């Protein structure tokens, strides 16, 4: 079913160091860094060394299996690149480069980067369509260029210290350099507790940064220049098309995005949750394939969280070859491995089933498509409806809104975080705020007041960065719906959903591809009027209409279930004693971040039936396990589990 093309893949990991202080790169460092990425690219290792410069790559062979190894050079070897990812428009670029007089020695896509750089310099990245993180060294100019794709599908972390810039695809590889201090950044801890992940450009370690999506970083003569080269435009709307015409354009765009992501010379399949987005991708794959699609699903022994029956129905409709796996509470045994691979605190508990699903899928295929990005482009979350409603209430005088908010705050705690009561409490607590602060509060795991109540005296002086309000200030849309969508693309999607799947899949050398994250399809969605995406209380209205020729109405119209785990039940049952042992351990409390009585209060409230505390308890557990792995463990002991 996979289309065979001479496309050169790099679902891999890259590393490098450029010294601008006149010293040479430590001879052993590049090898140690590459070794820490073997799980991402077990098939081959490539290296470029030249005194003060070293670039390396661990490669997972997916396409162009025989001739695709890196690094790749230009004609006189003055420009060299290592690439993690794929350039989808490489064929058009190759043709154009040949017309401009360039000689291309390979059949693949990596080589276009070095020649585009010769033509356009740093602006070459604006011509690339795909998912990528790459590093390019220009020996003549003594210039390093590192770059990430538009939505941040491929990760890159870096640090600048001691006369050098050092970078890697993952934190574990970066910390193969023992000279990098493992000093926790309190501001990053605060941001983590607010969001459930550490938002870019922060990482959990002081002095280590994420290169944000759609950014380039140039290092030359010891000077750094960071630039954002792309963003979605929510301001320009399609006003002259009917909903039917827009629906056709969405179907066409999704088919094209899926077609591009089905290019592989190895077995290919799809994650299938039974929700709208993954089902749409499978439907598109079935249209583009001459063979049955292979699909993979995961479920739980709690009916409330189990979507396997819906996934089976979609699999039957499209005649897929279907595999399933079920996750139980003992699955948290994989948590230390998850912590090692993410490299910093990451509290999204759906990382657990994502790891198991990736392991299951990798037994059968090397590439898996998924439905990530549909909610953030087309308006799939209840919070969009709730915050749009709250925005209409802004017309009510502030005093009256404060009264309504106080009344909602008096609602008794209890019930699941997604229950009507919990949502009413959250919404009521934000009525007196402006739209940006309201959304930040709505999205917070621990809001500002809760974090201040949690912190021990003296902790938190460096805290206060809020990625939501920072992103809101730069939005291009005018409606509250579009602003929330744009903020989610820049924060939640880039900081949580995309890393979750990249790290989980690459832990098993599985390549994940996401048709809904196609830049052209995302821009089409951004250009659709907001009222067609969230129509009253209907979420994803225009996408549902677009998919009606492909999917049954009862699947399209059923409530969103979400990809989550029965965390509250686990923490009251099988994991109750373990969670208390970890969080009340004297070693945990001695870190000086939190007041012991505040931790005890969280645990007691959850035991008493307040499910809204489950994700907060989980975030603290993951933070402590990360400390034990990355801060307490000696540098030489840091490792990745097989």
- Residues that are catalytic: 12
Q: Is 315:272 a contact under the CB 8 Å cutoff?
A: yes
| DSSP character string of 435-489 | HHHHHHHHH-SS-HHHHHHHBPTTTTTT----HHHHHHTT---SSHHHHHHHHHI
Half-sphere exposure of 534 (CA within 13 A, CB side): 24
Distances (CA, A) of 417 to 52, 195, 600: 52, 15, 20
Half-sphere exposure of 416 (CA within 13 A, CB side): 11
CA distance 318 to 135: 41
Count of all residues that appear for the chain in the document = 642
Sign of CA dihedral 446, 448, 452, 453: negative
**Rounded to the nearest 5°, which phi and psi values hold at 602?**
-60, -50
Question: How far apart are alpha carbons 244 and 203 in whole angstroms?
Answer: 44
For residue 251, the cross-strand partners are: none
Query: Which is it for strands 208-210 and 157-161: parallel, antiparallel or unpaired?
Result: antiparallel
Q: Which helix (H) or strand (E) holds 110?
A: helix 110-120
For 185, residues 6+ apart whose C-beta sits below 8 A from its C-beta are: 202, 203, 204, 205, 206, 462
All residues at 6 or more sequence positions from 237 whose CB lies less than 8 Å from its CB, including other chains: 527, 528, 529
β pairing state of 164-168 and 13-19: antiparallel
Farthest CA pair distance, the chain: 72
Q: Where are the alpha helices (DSSP H) in 216-291?
A: 243-260, 276-288
| Rg of the Cα atoms in the chain | 24
**DSSP letter string over 335-360?**
HHHHHHHH-S----TTHHHHHHHHHH
Alpha helices for 139-275 (secondary structure H): 171-174, 186-195, 243-260
| C-alpha dist (Å) from residue 411 to 7, 307, 332, 408, 606 | 58, 31, 33, 5, 17
| Residues contacting 439, CB < 8 A, separation 6+ | 383, 387, 468, 472, 483, 484, 487
């Amino acid at each position: 079913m996979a289309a065979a093309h001479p496309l050169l893949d790099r679902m891999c990991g890259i590393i490098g160091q450029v010294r601008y202080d006149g010293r040479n790169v430590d001879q052993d460092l590049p090898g140690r860094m590459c070794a820490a990425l073997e799980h991402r690219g077990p098939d081959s290792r490539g290296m470029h060394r030249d005194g003060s410069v070293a670039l390396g790559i661990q490669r997972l062979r997916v396409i162009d299996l025989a001739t695709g190894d890196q690094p790749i050079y230009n004609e006189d070897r003055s420009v060299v690149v290592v690439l993690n990812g794929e350039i989808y428009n490489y064929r058009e670029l190759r043709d154009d480069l040949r017309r401009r007089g360039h000689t291309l020695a390979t059949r693949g896509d990596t080589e276009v980067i070095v020649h585009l750089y010769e033509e356009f310099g740093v602006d070459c990245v604006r011509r690339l369509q795909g998912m990528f993180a790459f590093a390019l060294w220009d020996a003549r100019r003594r210039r390093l260029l590192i770059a990430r794709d538009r939505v941040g599908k491929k990760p890159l972390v870096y640090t600048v210290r001691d006369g050098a810039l050092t970078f890697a695809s993952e934190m574990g590889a970066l910390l193969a350099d023992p000279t990098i201090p493992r000093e926790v950044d309190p501001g990053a801890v605060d941001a983590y507790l607010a969001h459930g992940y550490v938002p870019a450009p922060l990482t959990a370690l002081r002095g280590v940064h994420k290169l944000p999506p759609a950014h380039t970083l140039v290092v030359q003569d010891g000077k750094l220049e960071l630039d954002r080269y792309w963003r979605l435009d929510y301001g320009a709307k399609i006003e002259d098309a009917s909903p039917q015409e827009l629906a056709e354009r969405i179907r066409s765009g999704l088919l094209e995005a899926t077609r591009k992501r089905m290019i592989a010379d190895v077995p290919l399949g799809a994650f299938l949750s039974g929700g709208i987005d993954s089902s749409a991708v499978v439907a598109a794959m079935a249209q583009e394939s001459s063979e049955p699609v292979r699909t993979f699903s995961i479920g739980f022994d709690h009916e409330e969280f189990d979507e396997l029956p819906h996934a089976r129905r979609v699999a039957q409709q499209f005649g897929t070859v279907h595999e399933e796996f079920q996750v139980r509470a003992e699955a948290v045994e994989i948590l230390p491995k998850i912590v090692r691979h993410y490299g910093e605190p990451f509290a999204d508990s759906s990382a657990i089933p994502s790891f198991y699903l990736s392991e299951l899928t990798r037994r059968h295929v090397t590439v898996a498509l998924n439905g990530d990005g549909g909610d953030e482009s087309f308006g799939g979350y209840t919070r969009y409806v709730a915050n749009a409603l709250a925005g209409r209430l802004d017309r009510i005088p502030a005093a009256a809104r404060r009264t309504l908010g106080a009344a909602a705050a008096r609602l008794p705690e209890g019930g699941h975080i997604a229950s009507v009561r919990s949502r009413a409490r959250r919404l009521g607590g934000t009525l007196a705020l402006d739209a940006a602060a309201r959304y930040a509060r709505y999205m917070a795991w621990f809001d500002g007041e809760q974090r201040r109540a949690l912190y021990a005296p003296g902790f938190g002086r460096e805290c206060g960065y809020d990625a939501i309000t920072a992103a809101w200030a730069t939005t291009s849309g005018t409606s509250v719906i579009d602003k929330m969508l744009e903020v989610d693309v820049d924060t939640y999607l880039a900081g949580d959903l995309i890393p979750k799947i990249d790290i989980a899949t690459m832990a098993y050398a599985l390549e994940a591809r996401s048709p809904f994250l196609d830049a052209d399809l995302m821009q089409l969605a951004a250009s659709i009027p907001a009222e067609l995406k969230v129509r009253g209380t209907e979420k994803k209205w225009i996408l549902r209409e677009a998919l009606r020729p492909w999917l049954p109405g009862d699947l399209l119209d059923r409530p969103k279930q979400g990809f989550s785990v029965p965390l509250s039940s686990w923490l009251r049952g099988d994991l109750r004693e373990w969670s208390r042992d970890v969080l009340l351990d004297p070693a945990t409390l001695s870190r000086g971040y939190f007041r012991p009585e505040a931790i005890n209060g969280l645990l007691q409230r959850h035991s008493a039936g307040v499910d809204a505390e489950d994700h907060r308890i989980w975030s603290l557990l993951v933070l402590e396990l990360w400390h034990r792995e990355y801060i307490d463990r000696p540098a030489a002991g840091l490792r990745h589990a097989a």
